[in-house]
Amino acid sequence: MENVKLHVLNEKREECPIGVFGEIYVAGPTVGIGYLNKPEQTAERFPPNPFEHERKQGWKRIYRTGDRGRFLPDGQLEVAGRIAFFVKIRGYSVVPSAIEETLNRHPMIATAVVLALGDIGDHEKKLVAYVVGTNWENVPTQKEMRDHCKKNLPPYAVPSLFVPLRALPVSESSRKLDSKKLPSFDSGTKIAEEKEAEIVAKKAENGAGTTTQVRSDEE
């Protein structure tokens, strides 16, 4: 569309790197100034434009869509659903997108998706992180990812399982994340165990011993 600029921004309203999920914002002369007589809703949905070069064009505000997405290397925008939602884990409210952003800050992780899997009910659900590394041959270990999360998240928001994947499954028609094609908890555990064994064997060849624990139910 002409006169429309799309941004994918993190929680600090900074541009996300290519391939990293964030929230989709819209900028341009067609963006309104807000909702009539609704200052709180206007402040939430029409924040000030953080980009100076756009403000100089008269684009004073950007529109917060509430949709989650990322730009692909070919320039296409992949939309992965709504971002403004939380899940209940053992009575705590957890925002999966905050965990994803934390994982995306790890230098060996290209992108990540976090889901709450399990039966209905707080105590049955578990957080599972599906992680694509910057290099399949050198993905972080379960301990490395768990420790990284523990440094930046409350204990109840640390995933129980990190499933390494070569790529996230997307729908061919819509380019949206196809969460139904992500491995189940049991299948993901098997994938994680196999990859962890591969990492351990490689480190043993290089003379660096390591211990591993794939699943964690302590967080």
Give the amino acid at 92: Y
In a domain, 217, yes or no: no
- Whether the per-residue pLDDT at 198 is higher than 80: the answer is yes
Looking at the whole model, is its pTM more than 0.75?
no
Q: What is the pLDDT of residues 100-119, one digit of tens each?
A: 989 999 999 999 999 998 76
Output the domain CATH number for residue 14: 2.30.38.10
Number of domains the chain contains:
2
- Whether the per-residue pLDDT at 122 is higher than 50: the answer is no
- Domain termination residue (choose one: 82, 114, 139): 82
Verify that 176 and 98 share a domain, yes or no. Answer: yes
Q: What is the pLDDT of residues 71-91, one digit of tens each?
A: 999 999 988 777 656 777 887
Verify that 57 and 114 share a domain, yes or no. Answer: no
Q: How far apart are CA 205 and CA 6, in angstroms?
A: 47
Verify that 186 and 107 share a domain, yes or no. Answer: yes
Q: Are 115 and 128 in contact (CB under 8 A)?
A: yes
pLDDT band of 51, cuts 50, 70, 90: very high
Question: Residue 116 corresponds to which tokens in the numbers above?
Answer: 């709450």
Verify that 54 and 98 share a domain, yes or no. Answer: no
Question: Residue 49 corresponds to which tokens in the numbers above?
Answer: 């434009």
SS3 assignment for the chain: CCCCEEEEECCCCCECCCCCCEEEEEECCCCCCCCCCCHHHHHHHCCECCCHHHHCCCCCECEEEEEEEEECCCCCEEEEEECCCCEEECCEEECHHHHHHHHHCCCCEEEEEEEEECCCCCCCCEEEEEEEECCHHHCCCHHHHHHHHHHHCCHHHCCCEEEEECCCCECCCCCCECHHHCCCHHHHHHHHHHHHHHHHHHHHHCCCCCCCCCCCCCC
Pair type for strands 92-94 and 87-89: antiparallel
In this prediction, residue 123 carries a pLDDT of 55
Verify that 94 and 75 share a domain, yes or no. Answer: no
Question: Could you tell me the residue range of the domain that residue 54 belongs to?
Answer: 5-82
